Amino acid sequence: MTNRTAIVTGASSGIGEATARRLQADGFTVYAGARRVERMQGLAELGVRVLALDVTDDDSMVAAVEQILAETGRIDVLVNNAGYGSYGAAEDVPMTEARYQLEVNLFGLARLTQLVLPAMREARSGRIINISSIGGRFGESLGAWYHASKFAVEGYSDSIRLELADFGIHVVVVQPGAIRTEWDGIALDSAMTHSGDTAYAAHVETMRATYDSAFGGLGADPSVIAEAIHRAATARRPKIRYVAPQSAKAMMVLARLLPDRLKDTLFRRMLMGGGIDVDSAVGV
Protein backbone atom coordinates (compact mmCIF):
# COMPACT_ATOMS: atom_id res chain seq x y z
CA MET A 1 0.00 0.00 0.00
CA THR A 2 1.28 3.48 -0.89
CA ASN A 3 0.44 6.84 0.71
CA ARG A 4 -0.14 5.26 4.10
CA THR A 5 -0.85 7.70 6.92
CA ALA A 6 0.09 7.04 10.54
CA ILE A 7 -0.46 8.95 13.79
CA VAL A 8 2.01 8.44 16.65
CA THR A 9 1.19 9.96 20.03
CA GLY A 10 3.75 10.76 22.71
CA ALA A 11 6.29 11.32 19.93
CA SER A 12 8.53 13.93 21.55
CA SER A 13 10.93 11.31 22.95
CA GLY A 14 11.59 7.64 23.57
CA ILE A 15 9.44 4.99 21.92
CA GLY A 16 7.17 7.52 20.20
CA GLU A 17 10.04 9.39 18.57
CA ALA A 18 11.74 6.17 17.48
CA THR A 19 8.47 4.88 16.02
CA ALA A 20 7.83 8.07 14.06
CA ARG A 21 11.33 7.79 12.58
CA ARG A 22 10.87 4.13 11.69
CA LEU A 23 7.51 4.58 9.97
CA GLN A 24 8.74 7.69 8.14
CA ALA A 25 11.72 5.70 6.84
CA ASP A 26 9.32 3.10 5.43
CA GLY A 27 7.38 5.67 3.44
CA PHE A 28 4.48 6.44 5.74
CA THR A 29 3.14 9.95 5.98
CA VAL A 30 3.67 10.30 9.72
CA TYR A 31 1.96 12.73 12.05
CA ALA A 32 3.84 12.94 15.33
CA GLY A 33 1.79 14.31 18.19
CA ALA A 34 2.89 15.55 21.60
CA ARG A 35 2.38 18.43 23.99
CA ARG A 36 6.03 19.49 23.63
CA VAL A 37 6.12 20.40 19.94
CA GLU A 38 9.48 22.14 20.34
CA ARG A 39 11.09 18.79 21.16
CA MET A 40 10.06 17.33 17.81
CA GLN A 41 12.18 19.62 15.63
CA GLY A 42 14.43 16.71 14.67
CA LEU A 43 11.41 14.78 13.41
CA ALA A 44 10.18 17.80 11.45
CA GLU A 45 13.55 18.03 9.72
CA LEU A 46 13.06 14.44 8.52
CA GLY A 47 9.71 15.32 6.98
CA VAL A 48 7.53 14.05 9.82
CA ARG A 49 4.50 16.29 10.29
CA VAL A 50 4.49 17.40 13.90
CA LEU A 51 1.42 18.68 15.69
CA ALA A 52 0.38 19.74 19.16
CA LEU A 53 -1.59 16.93 20.72
CA ASP A 54 -2.71 16.53 24.32
CA VAL A 55 -4.55 13.27 24.98
CA THR A 56 -6.26 14.81 28.01
CA ASP A 57 -7.76 17.63 25.90
CA ASP A 58 -10.68 16.60 23.69
CA ASP A 59 -10.49 19.73 21.52
CA SER A 60 -6.82 18.98 20.85
CA MET A 61 -7.56 15.42 19.73
CA VAL A 62 -10.53 16.41 17.56
CA ALA A 63 -8.48 19.14 15.86
CA ALA A 64 -5.59 16.76 15.18
CA VAL A 65 -7.77 14.11 13.54
CA GLU A 66 -9.64 16.71 11.49
CA GLN A 67 -6.36 18.19 10.26
CA ILE A 68 -4.97 14.82 9.23
CA LEU A 69 -8.10 13.82 7.36
CA ALA A 70 -8.26 17.22 5.64
CA GLU A 71 -4.64 16.92 4.50
CA THR A 72 -4.45 13.23 3.57
CA GLY A 73 -8.01 11.93 3.44
CA ARG A 74 -7.10 8.79 5.35
CA ILE A 75 -5.74 7.34 8.58
CA ASP A 76 -4.24 3.89 8.22
CA VAL A 77 -2.41 3.45 11.51
CA LEU A 78 -2.90 4.89 14.99
CA VAL A 79 -0.10 4.26 17.47
CA ASN A 80 -1.42 5.06 20.93
CA ASN A 81 1.90 5.54 22.68
CA ALA A 82 1.33 8.57 24.94
CA GLY A 83 1.49 7.67 28.61
CA TYR A 84 3.52 7.86 31.79
CA GLY A 85 4.07 5.95 35.03
CA SER A 86 2.53 7.36 38.21
CA TYR A 87 4.05 5.53 41.16
CA GLY A 88 3.67 5.58 44.93
CA ALA A 89 1.91 3.44 47.50
CA ALA A 90 -1.83 3.19 46.94
CA GLU A 91 -2.35 4.52 50.45
CA ASP A 92 -0.38 7.66 49.64
CA VAL A 93 -1.29 8.59 46.05
CA PRO A 94 -4.04 11.26 45.90
CA MET A 95 -7.13 10.21 43.97
CA THR A 96 -6.71 13.24 41.72
CA GLU A 97 -3.40 11.76 40.55
CA ALA A 98 -4.95 8.29 40.19
CA ARG A 99 -7.66 9.72 37.95
CA TYR A 100 -5.13 11.62 35.87
CA GLN A 101 -3.09 8.43 35.38
CA LEU A 102 -6.15 6.74 33.90
CA GLU A 103 -7.03 9.87 31.89
CA VAL A 104 -3.67 9.81 30.12
CA ASN A 105 -3.00 6.09 29.81
CA LEU A 106 -6.53 4.84 29.11
CA PHE A 107 -9.17 7.45 28.35
CA GLY A 108 -6.98 9.51 26.02
CA LEU A 109 -6.10 6.34 24.11
CA ALA A 110 -9.76 5.34 23.92
CA ARG A 111 -10.97 8.77 22.80
CA LEU A 112 -8.39 9.07 20.02
CA THR A 113 -9.31 5.57 18.87
CA GLN A 114 -12.97 6.62 18.82
CA LEU A 115 -12.12 9.62 16.65
CA VAL A 116 -10.19 7.70 13.97
CA LEU A 117 -12.58 4.76 13.66
CA PRO A 118 -15.16 6.32 11.31
CA ALA A 119 -12.51 6.88 8.62
CA MET A 120 -11.07 3.40 9.13
CA ARG A 121 -14.50 1.78 8.96
CA GLU A 122 -15.29 3.63 5.75
CA ALA A 123 -12.01 2.42 4.25
CA ARG A 124 -12.61 -1.05 5.73
CA SER A 125 -9.01 -1.21 6.85
CA GLY A 126 -6.75 0.14 9.56
CA ARG A 127 -4.47 -0.65 12.48
CA ILE A 128 -4.97 0.43 16.08
CA ILE A 129 -1.69 -0.23 17.90
CA ASN A 130 -1.95 0.26 21.65
CA ILE A 131 1.24 0.47 23.68
CA SER A 132 0.60 -1.45 26.86
CA SER A 133 3.37 -3.02 28.97
CA ILE A 134 4.46 -6.31 30.39
CA GLY A 135 3.01 -4.59 33.46
CA GLY A 136 -0.40 -5.05 31.86
CA ARG A 137 -0.20 -8.70 32.92
CA PHE A 138 1.06 -8.43 36.52
CA GLY A 139 1.57 -5.78 39.16
CA GLU A 140 4.41 -4.49 41.30
CA SER A 141 4.72 -2.66 44.58
CA LEU A 142 4.12 1.11 44.29
CA GLY A 143 2.64 0.77 40.81
CA ALA A 144 -1.04 0.14 41.54
CA TRP A 145 -2.47 2.92 39.37
CA TYR A 146 0.01 2.51 36.54
CA HIS A 147 -0.62 -1.21 36.34
CA ALA A 148 -4.37 -0.69 36.67
CA SER A 149 -4.21 1.58 33.61
CA LYS A 150 -2.27 -1.00 31.60
CA PHE A 151 -4.51 -3.89 32.66
CA ALA A 152 -7.37 -1.72 31.41
CA VAL A 153 -5.64 -1.10 28.07
CA GLU A 154 -5.33 -4.86 27.64
CA GLY A 155 -9.03 -5.46 28.33
CA TYR A 156 -10.11 -2.52 26.17
CA SER A 157 -7.96 -3.74 23.28
CA ASP A 158 -9.24 -7.31 23.51
CA SER A 159 -12.83 -6.07 23.42
CA ILE A 160 -12.57 -3.65 20.49
CA ARG A 161 -10.58 -6.21 18.52
CA LEU A 162 -13.75 -8.32 18.40
CA GLU A 163 -15.93 -5.33 17.50
CA LEU A 164 -13.73 -4.14 14.64
CA ALA A 165 -12.75 -7.40 12.95
CA ASP A 166 -15.71 -7.29 10.56
CA PHE A 167 -14.54 -3.89 9.29
CA GLY A 168 -11.03 -5.02 8.39
CA ILE A 169 -9.48 -3.14 11.32
CA HIS A 170 -6.75 -4.91 13.29
CA VAL A 171 -6.17 -4.11 16.96
CA VAL A 172 -2.67 -4.89 18.23
CA VAL A 173 -1.11 -4.61 21.68
CA VAL A 174 2.62 -4.00 22.11
CA GLN A 175 4.05 -4.92 25.51
CA PRO A 176 7.46 -3.36 26.19
CA GLY A 177 9.72 -4.40 29.03
CA ALA A 178 12.64 -2.33 30.32
CA ILE A 179 13.50 0.38 27.75
CA ARG A 180 15.94 3.28 28.08
CA THR A 181 13.58 6.26 28.04
CA GLU A 182 12.46 9.04 30.39
CA TRP A 183 9.75 6.74 31.75
CA ASP A 184 11.70 5.25 34.66
CA GLY A 185 12.91 8.62 35.94
CA ILE A 186 9.37 10.02 35.95
CA ALA A 187 8.05 6.90 37.69
CA LEU A 188 10.77 7.01 40.35
CA ASP A 189 10.28 10.74 40.95
CA SER A 190 6.57 10.24 41.50
CA ALA A 191 7.22 7.34 43.90
CA MET A 192 9.59 9.54 45.90
CA THR A 193 7.13 12.44 45.91
CA HIS A 194 4.20 10.35 47.14
CA SER A 195 5.90 7.75 49.36
CA GLY A 196 9.54 8.74 49.88
CA ASP A 197 8.96 9.72 53.50
CA THR A 198 6.04 7.46 54.43
CA ALA A 199 5.72 3.93 55.79
CA TYR A 200 6.61 2.72 52.29
CA ALA A 201 9.95 4.54 52.04
CA ALA A 202 11.89 1.26 52.01
CA HIS A 203 9.94 0.15 48.95
CA VAL A 204 10.93 3.38 47.20
CA GLU A 205 14.60 2.78 47.90
CA THR A 206 14.34 -0.75 46.54
CA MET A 207 12.58 0.61 43.46
CA ARG A 208 15.52 2.97 42.93
CA ALA A 209 18.03 0.10 43.04
CA THR A 210 15.86 -2.04 40.77
CA TYR A 211 15.39 0.66 38.15
CA ASP A 212 19.06 1.62 38.17
CA SER A 213 19.78 -1.96 37.12
CA ALA A 214 16.87 -2.60 34.78
CA PHE A 215 16.68 0.71 32.93
CA GLY A 216 20.20 2.04 33.30
CA GLY A 217 22.81 -0.17 31.72
CA LEU A 218 20.62 -3.12 30.75
CA GLY A 219 17.43 -1.61 29.34
CA ALA A 220 16.91 -1.92 25.58
CA ASP A 221 17.01 0.94 23.10
CA PRO A 222 13.59 2.37 22.09
CA SER A 223 14.28 1.29 18.50
CA VAL A 224 13.57 -2.30 19.60
CA ILE A 225 9.96 -1.35 20.32
CA ALA A 226 9.75 0.85 17.23
CA GLU A 227 10.66 -2.18 15.15
CA ALA A 228 7.92 -4.24 16.80
CA ILE A 229 5.42 -1.44 16.12
CA HIS A 230 6.55 -1.32 12.49
CA ARG A 231 5.90 -5.04 12.15
CA ALA A 232 2.46 -4.59 13.69
CA ALA A 233 1.72 -1.75 11.27
CA THR A 234 2.86 -3.53 8.10
CA ALA A 235 2.34 -7.28 8.55
CA ARG A 236 -0.37 -8.70 6.33
CA ARG A 237 -1.77 -10.54 9.34
CA PRO A 238 -0.30 -8.92 12.47
CA LYS A 239 0.01 -10.72 15.76
CA ILE A 240 -2.45 -9.79 18.47
CA ARG A 241 0.43 -9.04 20.86
CA TYR A 242 4.11 -8.19 20.41
CA VAL A 243 6.50 -8.45 23.38
CA ALA A 244 10.01 -6.97 23.42
CA PRO A 245 12.88 -7.04 24.30
CA GLN A 246 13.93 -10.62 24.97
CA SER A 247 14.02 -10.12 28.74
CA ALA A 248 10.37 -9.06 28.62
CA LYS A 249 9.46 -12.30 26.88
CA ALA A 250 11.06 -14.24 29.72
CA MET A 251 9.02 -12.30 32.27
CA MET A 252 5.80 -12.94 30.37
CA VAL A 253 6.47 -16.68 30.37
CA LEU A 254 6.93 -16.60 34.13
CA ALA A 255 3.80 -14.53 34.60
CA ARG A 256 1.80 -17.03 32.57
CA LEU A 257 3.17 -20.20 34.19
CA LEU A 258 3.68 -19.36 37.86
CA PRO A 259 0.81 -19.57 40.35
CA ASP A 260 -0.22 -16.22 41.82
CA ARG A 261 1.00 -17.00 45.33
CA LEU A 262 4.43 -17.97 44.03
CA LYS A 263 4.62 -14.79 41.96
CA ASP A 264 3.73 -12.77 45.05
CA THR A 265 6.44 -14.51 47.05
CA LEU A 266 9.06 -13.84 44.38
CA PHE A 267 8.17 -10.17 44.11
CA ARG A 268 8.21 -9.73 47.89
CA ARG A 269 11.65 -11.34 48.07
CA MET A 270 12.86 -9.00 45.34
CA LEU A 271 11.66 -6.05 47.42
CA MET A 272 13.39 -7.29 50.57
CA GLY A 273 16.53 -8.13 48.64
CA GLY A 274 17.12 -4.59 47.37
CA GLY A 275 17.26 -5.06 43.63
CA ILE A 276 16.71 -7.40 40.69
CA ASP A 277 18.17 -7.89 37.27
CA VAL A 278 16.58 -6.84 34.00
CA ASP A 279 14.90 -10.21 33.47
CA SER A 280 12.82 -9.45 36.55
CA ALA A 281 12.01 -5.84 35.76
CA VAL A 282 8.29 -5.08 35.50
CA GLY A 283 8.06 -1.46 34.37
CA VAL A 284 7.27 0.42 31.15
pLDDT, one tens digit per residue, over 89-114 is 999 999 999 999 999 999 999 999 99
Catalytic choice (86, 87, 149, 150): 150
Tell me the CATH number at 53.
3.40.50.720
Q: How confident is the model at residue 276 (pLDDT cuts 50, 70, 90)?
A: very low
Helix or strand holding residue 174 (H, E)? strand 169-176
Is the pLDDT confidence value at 70 over 80? yes
Choose the weakest-confidence range: 95-99, 101-105, 161-165, 252-256. Answer: 252-256
Whether pLDDT at 268 is above 90: no
What whole-number distance in Å separates Cα of residue 153 and Cα of residue 266? 25
Q: Band of the pLDDT at 270, cuts 50, 70, 90? A: low
- Print the domain residue range for 102: 5-280
What's the number of domains the chain is made of? 1
Is position 146 annotated as part of the catalytic site? yes
H/E element, 254: helix 246-257
Which of 31, 87, 146, 211 is flagged as catalytic?
146
pLDDT top residue among 212 and 192? 192
Of the candidates 31, 60, 86, 132, the residue annotated as catalytic is 132
The pLDDT of residue 172: 98
Length of the chain: 284
What share of the chain in percent tops pLDDT 90? 73
Which listed residue (12, 86, 133, 247) is catalytic? Answer: 12
Q: What is the mean pLDDT of the chain?
A: 90
Measured CA to CA, the distance from residue 46 to residue 40 in angstroms comes to 10
* Distance (Å, whole) CA 259 – CA 36: 43
DSSP 3-state assignment of 243?
Answer: strand
pTM over 0.85: yes
Please count the other Cβ atoms lying within 10 Å of the Cβ belonging to residue 262: 11
Per the annotation, the verdict on 249 as an active-site residue is no
Read off the pLDDT of residues 131-140 as tens digits, 9 standing for 90 and up.
Answer: 999 999 988 8
Query: CA-to-CA distance for 254 and 20, rounded, in angstroms?
Result: 32
Query: 150 an active-site residue?
Result: yes
Is the pLDDT at 151 greater than 70? The verdict is: yes
The residues facing 131 across adjacent strands are 174
Query: CB count, 10 Å around CB of 227?
Result: 16
